[in-house]
Structure formats: C-alpha cells, structure tokens
Structure 1
Amino acid sequence: MRLKALCRIVAVGLLALPLIPLQWLAVRWNWRLARGLPVFFHRCVLAIIGVKVAVTGREARERPLLIVANHVSWLDIVVLGSLAPLSFIAKSEVAGWPVIGLFARLQRSIFIERDRRHKTGEVTAAIAARLRAGDAMLLFGEGTTSDGIHILPFRSALLGAAREAMGGGDTPAFVQPLALRYVRRGGLPIGRGAMKEVAWIGDVDLAPHLIGVLSGPPIDVVVNWGEALAYDTATDRKVLTRKLEGDVRALARSVDPAPLARRRG
C-alpha cells in the first residue's frame, strides 16, 4: 500500500516540477494564468490520487465574493481548488509546511496568525483588497478541521473583510456558503470509522495522514454551493455568521451521493 502512495507522490512531483516556476512567474508578473493554473494542477492531482468530485450548484458571479466553507482535511484544498480560481485564507502554520506551504503561497493564499489578535485588522485589510480586486476568497468558517461528521461553530472575526471590501459605499459585498462531505471510499459509504482516515483532526501528524490517504482506495466527495448572501452596512456580522453556519449545516445534510455518477455539475 505504501508503494501506491509513493507512486502517487512521484506522479504529483513530476506534474508540479514544470508548473511551479511557471506559476511563480505568473504571480510575479500578474499574468491571468496565475488564477487558472492552480485549477488545472488541482484537477490533475485529484485524478492521480483517485478522488472524484460531484458538485451541486455553482460559484456566484457577484463580486466582491467571500466563500465560507466547512473544513475536514488538507484534502479540502485540492478539492475546492479544482472547482474554480480561488485563493484561500489559511492559518499561518501552513506557510511553513514542506511543499504544501509552497503551493499555498503560489496560489496567493493569505495567512492568519491566530494567536496574534492585534493583527486581525491587517489580515482583514489584505483580504478586503483582494476581494475588491475581483478575487474570490475562501474562508474555512470553523477556523480548524472537524471530524468530518459534525460541523464546528463558525467564527465571525474575518467576515469583517467583506464589509471592508465595500469601501464604505452602498454597493454590497457577497458571502456564499459552501459545504463539502466525503461520502464514499472504495465504493463503500464512509462511516465514523472510515472518516477518521479521511478527516485530519487536531494534532495528527501530516505525513502519516497523507500516506494513509494516498495509499488507500478512491474517495468520493460531494460539494454543495449555497445561495450568496448580500452583506451591506446594515448587516450584523455575528448574525450573518450564524446564518452562514446554519446554511452550511443544511447544505451538508442535504448532500446526495447520486450526482457522483457525473464528474461535475
């Protein structure tokens, strides 16, 4: 089984080798390619590691757009990154991870130092600037990974970035809920026991979890897009956070594995 993981790692490495310098140049010189190349990369990675994604709904066209999703595993980055040009709002530790940190920086992620609350304003301003530039940003509402069965309470602090993106004007920003659920592995439904092999919980070391996912059978995941919500100067941030949390929970409960018969919807 470890041989399978090794083969997949080598294949991803060979894929990344020419794409890393190309993406670096695209980001450096602000080419349009910088947004689309990560989508191509993530889709290829999913094919290599045996993950099938089914999608219900679609990304909102309104801008500025902040997407708020639940968080289960490091695999979420690859799954969601394969759907559309997105940039992630990630914890600062990710920037220092081998390989994954490099990919995150090349996808123009914004990193949060969770233990330094005085820097929240700086992060919010950085997110707002990207939203105003037309980039769709994705925030994991729970702030950490869950067990893949339950959704943790959402945090409201960084939703202030959507308000700041309005620049004090009357035109609203938009916040869109998104839910993902890992539903099958090797063709069998993922129960609590199998979910422990997919969900990356707490202080579990990355390397053994990575090997476990890559050496195992194919995984099926369903992604549900919700309706985008307008966020204007009259919106209460905490009320909006509770609304988004409820919407993501409802989207996760409504996941239908049937769409897995098709690649994307």
Structure 2
Amino acid sequence: MIKKIRIFLALALVVASSLVLVPLQMLSMKTGLWPETFILKIWHRMILRALGMRVHVKGTLSTQRPLLVAANHISWTDIMVLGSFADVKFIARADMAGWPLIGMLSKLQRTVFIERERKRSSGDQASEIANRMAKGDAMVLFAEGSTADGNVVMPFKSTLFGAASMAISEGAAQTVFIQPVAIAYTRLHGVPLGRRHRPIAAWIGDEDLMPHLKVLMSEGALDVEVHFGEPVAFSKGSNRKETAKLMEREVRAMMQAALADPRPSR
C-alpha cells in the first residue's frame, strides 16, 4: 500500500511540474528569456525528487571549450542526474525520441539523436555534434554505447569519439577537450548497495521503460554520485582508440572509488 501511494505521489509531482515547466521551456527556447538550461535544471530536479534520488557531486564540469564529456551509462536517469546541475547537452540513441516524457524532455534540451546501426548517417550526426561543440555546447557522450549493470564499466567505443575528430578536421576547432565523468548509484535508503543490488538502478539493454520506472518510484531514496575527472586535450595528432581507452580507465577508476567508499546519504 505504501509503495502504491509513493508511486501515485511521484507521478503527480512529475505531471504537475511538467504542466508548468514545459510551456516555460518552450517559451525560453523561442525568446531566449532565460539561459537554455535554466528551466531544464529545475525539471530534472523535480523528476529526481519524484524518484527519491539524491545527487552527490565531486569535481566540476570543465570550463574549457569545445568540450566533449565521456561518461559511463547505467540508466535513463543518468540524463536527469547530470542535467540537474550541469549546463550540458546530450547525445542519445534515436529511439529515445519517441519515449513518453523522456523523449519530450530530450527534444526540449536539443539532444542529438544518433542511429548507431546506420553507418550512412554517422557522418552527418558526427558533424552536427562537432558543430554544437564548436558553438560552445558541452556535449555528453555515453561512450559505452549501451547501459551497464552499475557494477562495471564496459569498453568505450572509439567510433563514438568521431565528433571530436570531425570538429578538428572541419576546422571548427584546433583542440577539443574530452572530460571523463563517472556515474555511480551507491546507496538505497542510506544503505550501501552491494554488487547484487546495484542493478536495481540499472536500465539495461532493451528492458521496457515503464516497469523500470515503476520500480524506481516504488523504491525511492537512491543515492547517486557523479565524479568529474581532468579534461584531456584532443588535437589533430591524437589517436581516437588511445583516447577512448584513457577515458575508459579514468571513468572506471572513479566509479570503483565511489562504489568502494560511497558518500554518506543526506
């Protein structure tokens, strides 16, 4: 009964906040009345509040531009987590555009949707991301190409770093900065999550969205940590595969440190 009440209240909060914030974001995008991420940050925070998630941040988003953020990926909630405090835009898989609420939210923050299976379109997609970075947008790349279970970081795909190479080859920038960022879901109701229970937060592969959303709303009280590493300069002579491996190592080390010694819940 308590879980049903929690789900009802969470849904009510999401719907009420969306009814107010969606028109404001649309107005902001048309008029520039507020910074583009101002309303989005509030919206992300309201969704996290509805889900009962608390965010702990170590480090800061780099001020260097153009900037590509290379992060691990555990769940669709990663977007809300990062978007709740950082001025970033996202690179997401194409099917997310059709998701209820999440798809709308993504479009309202000018997410770049990519179709990883269609190689013919990869050049155009990389070019769009490169142009966005050149204009000053910090773009978040979930470099594993899929979601993991919250216990491990999967290999980073070097092909996904093509936007950095294209920004340089097209003359949009001489150097692109790539910053490693680790996301770790660490506690449930204040108790550290062990390997067995971390997948509660994970949304893996082709799992249906609604059952996972229901689990998160009924459980509540998840703690998530975001750790920012030092950005690395990527230039004309840089190697994509080596850079991908470096980012992977950095993210894995930060994630394991967060899991081994999670910050206190608050």
Per the shorter chain, which TM-score range?
over 0.9
Q: Which runs of 5+ in 1 are unaligned?
A: none
Q: Which residue of 2 aligns with 1:152?
A: 154
> 2:108 corresponds to which letter in structure 1?
L
The answer to whether the 8 A contact 2:134-2:173 is kept is: no
Q: Which residue identity is paired with 2:213?
A: L
Describe the superposition over 1:173-225 as per-residue Cα deviations: whole angstroms up to 9, x where unpaired. 10000001111001111123322221111222110110000111300111110
Query: Matches of 1:250 and 1:13 in 2, distance apart?
Result: 38
Helix, strand or coil for the counterpart of 2:141?
strand
1:248 maps onto 2:251 in alignment: yes
User: CA shift at 1:3, angstroms?
Assistant: 2.5
1:187 is matched with which residue: 186, 190, 207? Answer: 190
Match of 1:138 in 2: 140
- Quick one: percent identity of the two aligned structures? 41
Moved more, 25-34 or 179-188: 25-34
Local SS of the residue matching 2:36: helix
Q: Compare 201-210 and 130-139 and name the one that shifted more.
A: 201-210
State the distance in 1 between where 2:200 and 2:238 align. 39
Task: State yes or no: 1:206 paired with 2:209.
Answer: yes
Q: 2: CA distance between counterparts of 1:217 and 1:59?
A: 27
Matched with 1:114 is 116
- Three-state SS of the structure 2 residue aligned to 1:220 is strand
- Aligned residue among 10, 15, 18 for 1:13: 15
Could you tell me how far apart the structure 2 residues matched to 1:260 and 1:172 are? 39
Q: Which amino acid aligns with 1:191?
A: G
Per the alignment, in what secondary structure is the counterpart of residue 130 of structure 1? helix
In the alignment of these two chains, the number of paired residues is: 261
CA contact (8 A) 1:43 1:82 kept: yes
State how far apart, in whole Å, the 1-side matches of 2:166 and 2:38 are. 26
Amino acid of the residue matched to residue 41 of structure 1? W
Long gaps (5+) in structure 2 = none
Per the normalisation by structure 1, the TM-score is: 0.93
SS of the residue 1:68 aligns to: strand
Partner secondary structure for residue 187 of structure 2 = strand
Provide the TM-score with structure 2 as the length reference.
0.93
Using the TM superposition, give the Cα deviation of residue 30 of structure 1 relative to its aligned residue in structure 2, in angstroms. 4.7
Report whether the alignment pairs 1:41 with 2:43. yes
Structure 2 match to 1:79? 81
Determine if contact 1:120/1:158 at 8 Å carries over to the other structure.
Answer: no
RMSD: 1.6
2:200 to 197, 200, 210: 197
> CA separation in 1, counterparts of 2:115 and 2:12?
32
